[in-house]
Amino acid sequence: MGNRQSVVREAARFAEWVLREVGRELRVARLIAGMTQGQVAGVLGTSISHVSRVEHGLIKGAGLVALSRHAAVVGLKPWIKLYPIVGRPLDRAQLALFAKFRDRIAGTWRVTLEAPMPIPGDLRAADALLAMPGCQCMVEIITRLADFQAQVRMAHRKQRDIGASRLILVVAGNDT
């Protein structure tokens, strides 16, 4: 339970930082556009002090729509992209599927489960890495297909970033 609470606290701290950064970008764009806070407030139908608080990242509940409108007034277009924050450990189904896969490959492979990315700060991990002289294969274990193309794209990015020469997708079948 405590771990989940710390993740939520960290997310709140990160959101505050993002709001300060967005506010700074809005302020710089306003200045470049030659606008005053009063002019921006007039277009948005709000007060000068509200514009100032947004520019200083002090509006904790600033919503996407309000920030998008503010950005449009100063000539910006926001873009949001979501990234995984932690590498999730292999679940029981993935471990069982990997065990079946492991039984089918030669014992000469050096196997590393949950191999971390060699990029500082990158929390992703390959589900497994198989290595032997001259060949390194990244294994991605898929037990639940949600968006196959997106899952394959993500696996290819991990393969590229970990430096594996091959990608093996181990996909669970169904019994029906």
- Quick: pLDDT tens for 2-38: 455 677 888 888 899 999 999 999 999 999 999 999 9
Where does the pLDDT of residue 99 fall: very low under 50, low under 70, confident under 90, or very high at 90 and above? very high
Where does the pLDDT of residue 86 fall: very low under 50, low under 70, confident under 90, or very high at 90 and above? low
Q: Cβ(110)–Cβ(131) under 8 Å?
A: yes
Percent of the chain with pLDDT over 90: 69
For the chain, which domains are there?
2-73 (1.10.260.40), 92-171 (3.40.1350.10)
Going across the sheet that includes 110-116, the strands are 110-116, 125-132, 135-142, 166-171
Counting Cβ atoms within 10 Å, is residue 112 exposed (0-12), middle (13-18) or buried (19+)?
middle
Q: Provide the token pair at 162.
A: 């970990």
